[in-house]
Amino acid sequence: MKTILITGCSSGFGLATAARFLGQGWKVIATMRTPRSDLLPPSEHLQVLALDITDPLSIRDAVQAAGPIDALVNNAGVGLLGPLEGTSLETARDVFETNTFGAMAMIQAVLPQFRQRKAGVVVNVSSSTTLAPLPLLSVYTASKAAINAFTESLALELAPFNVRVGLVIPGRSPETPFSQNAQSRRQGGIPEAYAEFASGIVARMRQSTGPVTHASDVAEAVWRVVNDPAAPLRVPAGADAVALAAVDQAAAA
């Protein structure tokens, strides 16, 4: 039986991904800051662990408790909505600490076992804001764009050890608490000079229609990357992300 460790399983993409692999007979290590075993169906193949990916000791304890794993999914992340001018560097660093350095720390923690076995898969979950940037999300987008570039380089670095690395790029999803979390992390409110502009942007985001990404889309994309050695390095997840990726590829051609 293969084992997968997934970060950020308390809701949204991480929870759906955990359920997908559990349903396919994998042993699932579902991690979250505050463990809740009632979020997923009871199973002898499920292990719920506490994990704060910004805390080295928490990472060490979780990886030790998990034991040998076959795949790591770096899904845990935080959002931030607001203009750069009104964002403290402390807040910006907090976003990078989770979205960028947290993923790096998790990979460093599991790489020794992957390298020694010459087997393993790392999946990093990014964002379609890296394909089509939006205002008020500059810091968040930068933290995810860093993961994109990091993943591309890491894939080359680990290929000699038969360790695969992939990137899943979800679009906008109504099934995650991103908007609420992104706004709650902002401190001090919107600077007055940006108030009118920001209110218009937020209103358009809330009224936006069209294709979206469902949590099941992300779970399916992660499943593909983990199980298909021929999967491309970048896999968009969700109808909107697929469309944006096609435009991005056409522009780069």
Name the catalytic one among 13, 114, 140, 150.
140
Q: What angle do CA 247, 156, 98 make, to 5 degrees?
A: 70
72 phi and psi, to 5 degrees? -120, 130
Residue 156, judged by CB atoms within 10 A of its CB (0-12, 13-18, 19+), counts as exposed
Domain range for 73 = 3-252
Query: Do 4 and 206 meet the contact criterion of CB atoms below 8 Å apart?
Result: no
Q: How many domains does the chain have?
A: 1
pTM more than 0.85 = yes
Higher-pLDDT residue of 210 and 86 is: 86
CA 203, CA 217: separation in Å to the nearest integer?
26
Question: How is residue 185 annotated by DSSP?
Answer: T
pLDDT tens-digit map of 17-72: 999 999 999 999 999 999 998 999 999 999 999 999 999 999 999 999 999 999 99
Neighbours of 249 (CB within 10 A): 12
CA–CA separation, 123 and 238 (whole Å): 17
Strands (E), the chain: 3-6, 27-32, 46-50, 71-74, 121-125, 164-170, 234-237
Domain CATH code at residue 17: 3.40.50.720
pLDDT in tens, 171-208: 998 866 655 555 544 556 788 888 887 888 778 777 77
Residue 194 a catalytic site member: no
Sorting pLDDT into bands at 50, 70 and 90, what band is 252?
low
- Strand, coil or helix: what is 71? strand
Among 61, 59, 32, residue whose Cα is nearest residue 46: 32
Neighbour-count burial of 224, counting CB atoms closer than 10 A to its CB (0-12 exposed, 13-18 middle, 19+ buried): middle
